[in-house]
Amino acid sequence: MSRPFSTAMLLAAGLGKRMRPLTDIRPKPLIEIAGKPLIDHVLDRLAASGVEKAVVNVHYLAEQMEAHLAGRQHPKILISDERAGLLDSGGGARKALPLLGKAPFIVCNCDSFWIEGPQNNLEALEAAWDPERMDILMLVAATATSVGFDGRGDYHLDSAGLLSRRRENETAPFAYAGVLLIKPELFEGTREIFSLNRLFDAAETKGRLFGRRLDGIWLHVGTPEAVGEAETKIAQSMVE
């Protein structure tokens, strides 16, 4: 199956501090959920949606990541090496641009993980993409039905799909689910080290930051406790 977005960037270079002690001996993307490393859950979903190439950035315990990914055929894996220093989410994607190409691409956190609903979320996200109106289109999850998320939310989503970030003392009903579609030209003139949040805010200011609501249950696997919560929810979903 060929999809409109054939290339993805996986952000996998982080230190995984909130996952300690599980990340004392392995990088977070290699922590297993339901018998499979987190990064393989993401890559399998991308492959099933027709993504042909995935660029994975590495830093912490990079040799483990490279060894694990060496045998992967679908999607094809390219490594963006950040051993010299972490570049944050935006800087990591910026460094990988020569590998990603000039077309819009998918960005995934290595723990972008959910139980799929009736509609395939990657396919729905791609179908909603409109480059004439959008610079970024992100998958957002309802915080009320998410597992392992105890924050105050990230965004409000209006009826047209426009996103607006919550104010400091406010609560928002949606959280960024760790997957988005983005235009590479947004990285022009950016710094070597920066967060993708800068691009989110710039797109929002221009009225070009859009969201698509996740169909299913988002599993926010950010702490060791959340691993068990996610596995319990997966087991429940298989018998429902």
Note the pTM of the prediction, 2 decimals. 0.92
The backbone torsions φ and ψ at residue 37, rounded to the nearest 5 degrees and listed phi first, read: -60, 145
Query: Could you read off the pLDDT of 87-120 as tens digits, one per residue?
Result: 999 999 999 999 999 999 999 998 888 999 988 9
Q: Which SS3 state, helix, strand or coil, does residue 69 take?
A: helix
Residue 33, beta-bridge partner list: 36
The position carrying tokens 């919550």 is: 166
First to last CA, the chain: 29
User: Each residue's pLDDT tens digit in the chain (240 positions)?
Assistant: 345 689 999 999 999 988 899 899 999 999 999 889 999 999 999 999 889 999 999 999 999 999 999 988 999 999 999 999 999 999 999 999 999 999 999 999 988 889 999 889 999 999 999 999 999 999 999 999 898 888 899 999 999 999 999 998 899 999 999 999 999 999 999 999 999 999 999 999 999 999 999 999 999 888 888 888 888 888 888 766
Q: Where are the beta strands (DSSP E) in the chain?
A: 7-11, 32-33, 36-37, 53-58, 76-81, 105-109, 114-116, 136-142, 155-157, 163-165, 174-182, 209-213, 216-218
CB atoms within 10 A of CB 71: 7
Query: Could you read off the pLDDT of 156-165 as tens digits, one per residue?
Result: 999 999 999 9
Residues 6+ apart with CB under 8 A from 62: 27, 81, 82, 83
The structural domains of the chain, ordered by start, are 7-239 (3.90.550.10)
